[in-house]
Structures are given as structure tokens and as C-alpha cells.
Structure 1
């Protein structure tokens, strides 16, 4: 487990508890995704990493960039993270927040990467199969990845199912080169 995820976990838990208590899970989800996206902007990262800026200046600048897309509680989170030198954790905090949100709903978000478009019928069959395997409702999103050549790769939480042609060829290559 990465150190960033470990460091982000208590912040994500606190944000989730705050959002759940105030019945603002959807709003917090949107804000967390937005702040995570802002924090990954390369130009902003370069400015925020300037050692001449104080922690207060870093948080004020970040809040200014976010504008009206975040509320006062989210601004307080930004100030806390900046004060502790943890703004870099926003993508991990957002990811962990979404995981806790899914856990609370009894669902899991899954992604299928395939070389070609997945039909609605195929998607429904896969969702049902994953539901049986994982014991939870599954929200499946699909993406096209031409590099897979054929087949598909499914990511559901920590589970990865590689049924791609590319994956099979890599396994054969490994077996043959031993």
C-alpha cells in the first residue's frame, strides 16, 4: 500500500463522516473530485511547490483557483491540508472518499477496459456476474483500450480480472522465456 494512501486515509474518513452527518455525500463527492483535479494541474503544482510561499498563501491560492466550486467546509479542508503540507493527498483522499461512499451504499464501482465497445447486454451480464462474485451491487463503466487487442480487463476495487489477448500473450511470452 502506498504511503500516500496511508496518509490520506484519516482525512478521507473524516471528510466522509462530516459529509454523511450533514447528508451532503453527493456535494462532497463533487467537491472532492474537483479539488483532486485542481491539485493535479501541473502549472498549479509548480506554483504551489514554490518554497517562498507560506502555507497560508498556498491555501489561499488554491482556494482562489477553486472559486465558488467549493464551500466553506471544503475551504477549511484545503487550509488544514496546506497547513500540514498535505495538499498533494487530495487525489488519494478523493479516491478513498468514493470507496467509503460506495461501501456505505453497498455498491462497488468497476471499470471494464476492452479493445472494442461493450454492448448494453454484455455490460448487464458482466454486472450480474460481478455481483454474484463480489456479493455487492456493481456499477460498471466501460472504456475502450485498443492496446488490449481483444478481450477485456476488469477492475473492481482490489480485484483485477485480465481476460485480454494482450495479457494472454504476455503470459505466454513469460512462460516461453523461462
Structure 2
């Protein structure tokens, strides 16, 4: 995985710079995201790892599956990845591209797990508080997990805020063990 990240970084950066120059960040995000999802598919993984297929056959298979979602530049990007045996790095390329895009747009994705359903008003307040704390526009994705007993767990990039009852009980338990 770390190997793919190292390989993926220059391709993601090049795609990002190209998308910036063409004012097409969202379009490229969609294209790379779709191609990454195709590569992550189990059947496509078998095809791309097959020693019986040439690079050209693998490239053609990818282009055939992705053709309706890629413009000419997106297809050229896949061809370059194929020529350099980098198609399998597409999920990491997409991840790094999205990070660069979020940094540029000063946005962040936060995953919120709540013990109960949050109202739209609660979600808006949470977005505002996180935005003021992080200095960026925040997009949240909320899931409900009744096992938390109460409270929230917020994950944004490498930051985790555990305000759940389950998390507090776990901390208390650790403290009492010492």
C-alpha cells in the first residue's frame, strides 16, 4: 500500500495541476474516482493482474468500461497509467487527488457517527463549530450507531474527536486499570 502511495503521488499531482489549469477540478475528481472504483472491483483486479493479458489489452478493457465517464483527457491519463504499469495505483491516485483538491478548496470531509439521528439544525451547528475550529469549510457524512450509547465520534483526516459515552467509559476503564 505504501508503495502504491509513493507511485501514485506524482500522477495525482500531475492530474491535479492539469485540472487546475483547465478549471476542471470536479470533472477530474469524477473521472479519477470512477476509474479508481473500476480498478478496485474484484474482477478488474484479476484482469489487471493477469499474466496472460498484454498492457494494451488491460488498457483497452479499462477504457471500454470507463469510456462513458471519461473525456479525451481522462482517457489519455488512463493510457499513460497503463503504459507505465500504474493502473492498479488508481485508488491511491484518487485519494491523493482528493486530498490536493480539498486543500486547494479549503474544505474537509468529516465523518460523524452519532448515537441518535441528528436533525438538520444539529448538523448545521456541528458544521459551523467544526469549520471555526478547523478554519475550513466542512462537509459532514453522518451515520447512526446506537452502540455509542450517546454522543458523537467525529473523524476528519487524521483527527478523531470521541465524545461518545462508549468512548468515555473506555477511558474510565483504562484509568481504573492503572
TM-score, structure 1 length as denominator? 0.88
Per the alignment, residue 154 of structure 2 pairs with: 154
Inter-partner Cα distance in structure 2 for 1:77 and 1:42: 22
In structure 2, relative to structure 1, the CA distance for the partners of 1:175 and 1:58 (3 Å cut) is farther
Q: How many residues align?
A: 178
Per the alignment, residue 70 of structure 1 pairs with: 70
| Alpha-carbon shift at residue 175 of structure 1 (Å) | 4.2
In structure 2, relative to structure 1, the CA distance for the partners of 1:54 and 1:166 (3 Å cut) is farther
* Structure 2: stretches of 5+ with no match in the other structure: none
SS at structure 2 position matched to 1:118: coil
Aligned pair 1:33/2:44, yes or no?
no
| 1:129-164 CA distance string (max 9 Å, x none) | 211211122122212234434322212122111222
TM-score, structure 2 length as denominator? 0.88
Per the alignment, residue 14 of structure 1 pairs with: 14
Inter-partner Cα distance in structure 2 for 1:73 and 1:10: 17
Inter-partner Cα distance in structure 2 for 1:46 and 1:173: 46
Moved more, 53-62 or 134-143: 134-143
| 1:51-99 CA distance string (max 9 Å, x none) | 1111111111111111211112111221222222222221221122122
Per the alignment, residue 91 of structure 2 pairs with: 91
| 1:109-145 CA distance string (max 9 Å, x none) | 2221223222112112211221121112212221223
Cα RMSD between the aligned structures? Answer: 2.1
| Alpha-carbon shift at residue 176 of structure 1 (Å) | 4.7
Inter-partner Cα distance in structure 1 for 2:167 and 2:37: 30
| Alpha-carbon shift at residue 46 of structure 1 (Å) | 1.3
In structure 2, relative to structure 1, the CA distance for the partners of 1:49 and 1:174 (3 Å cut) is farther
